[in-house]
């Protein structure tokens, strides 16, 4: 998909990996506070808004975290342009979530055209090509048949099954010292295919600016955990320079939420 930003957009915010759940109240409150005060024209959530998502009928479950999050997202969606991308934790978010949040569904990847630049947006999990076990599950879980079978189960069964998958994933991480980062060659191939020089993604929880070549870079977003012993969260902001015959370069900066 290609998204051409309206000329009125001057400031864009990118966040990812909120992993919102009932057990992270400070993170939830921090995100709500950010949404209510941001001056951005558009906010892009690039995956893993929730720790996990088991289907849009879960909206009916009166969990405080869900209710407060959706209310804050709807307030934001009513006054700015809000985009939600699915991640590896919340890939089952559907159209009902988008309507509830007054958000636009953002495919992975999306090429954003802004300030004369083409910027590729992705969650990033699909670019961790060395993690073959996860890539096999990713392909399976994105299939129509797998999702149909999973969503046909009762909510309680789905929640228990998803919790079991999360526990297995954490056990797999602890059993290895290997960190599966985004493959730079895969990232470059994506940028070349999209005629872009810049990639923005989350997933790896290692915020940084990586040079892929003399002309290509990837910006990695921070995860959010304000309930941790060492709290962390940040927003990547992109601002357009003044217009005119020779517009100023785009400006990237990391901000506290």
Every domain of the chain and the residues it spans = 2-255
Do residues 118 and 197 touch, judged by C-beta distance below 8 A? yes
Do residues 203 and 124 touch, judged by C-beta distance below 8 A? yes
Residue 143: predicted pLDDT: 96
Give the torsion sign (CA, 97, 45, 202, 211): positive
Residue 169: predicted pLDDT: 72
Across 74-88, average pLDDT? 97
pLDDT at residue 29 is higher than 80? yes
Can you give the three-state secondary structure of the chain, one letter per residue?
Answer: CEEECCCCCCEEEEECCCCECCCCHHHHHHHHHHHHHCCCCEEEEECCCECCCCCHHHHHCCCHHHHHHHHHHHHHHHHCEEEEECCCCCCCCCHHHHHHHCCEECCCCEEEEECCEEEEEECCHHHCCCCHHHHHHHHHHCCHHHHHHHHCCCHHHHHHHHHHHHHHHHHHHHCCCCCCCCCHHHHHHHHHHCCCCEEEECCCCCCEEEECCCCCEEEECCCCECCCCCCECCEEEEECCCCCCCCCCCEEEEECC
Residue 248: predicted pLDDT: 65
Report the C-alpha gap between 15 and 42 in whole angstroms.
11
Report the C-alpha gap between 135 and 17 in whole angstroms.
19
pTM confidence score: 0.94
> How sure is the predictor about 97, in pLDDT bands with cuts at 50, 70 and 90?
very high
CATH of domain 2-255: 3.60.21.10
């Amino acid at each position: 998909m290609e998204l051409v930003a309206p000329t009125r957009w001057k400031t864009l915010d990118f966040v990812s990996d909120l992993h919102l759940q009932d057990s992270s109240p400070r993170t939830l409150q921090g995100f709500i506070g950010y949404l209510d005060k941001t001056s951005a024209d558009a906010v892009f959530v690039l995956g893993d808004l929730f720790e996990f998502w088991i289907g849009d009928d879960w909206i009916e479950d009166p969990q405080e975290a869900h209710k407060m999050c959706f209310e804050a997202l709807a307030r934001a969606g009513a006054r700015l342009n809000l985009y939600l991308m699915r991640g590896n934790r919340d890939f089952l978010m559907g159209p009902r979530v988008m309507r509830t949040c007054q958000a636009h569904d953002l495919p992975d990847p999306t090429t954003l055209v802004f300030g004369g630049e083409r910027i590729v947006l992705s969650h990033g999990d699909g670019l961790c090509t060395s993690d073959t076990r996860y890539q096999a599950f990713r392909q399976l879980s994105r299939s129509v048949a797998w999702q149909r079978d999973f969503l046909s189960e009762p909510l309680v069964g789905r929640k228990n099954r998803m919790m079991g998958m999360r526990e297995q994933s954490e056990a797999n991480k602890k059993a290895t010292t290997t960190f599966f980062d985004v493959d730079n060659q895969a990232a470059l191939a994506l940028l070349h295919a999209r005629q872009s020089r810049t990639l923005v993604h989350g997933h790896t929880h290692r915020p940084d600016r990586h040079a892929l070549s003399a002309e290509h870079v990837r910006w990695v977003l921070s995860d959010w955990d304000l309930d941790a012993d060492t709290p962390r969260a940040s927003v990547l902001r992109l601002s357009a320079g003044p217009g005119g015959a020779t517009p100023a370069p785009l400006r990237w900066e990391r901000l506290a939420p």
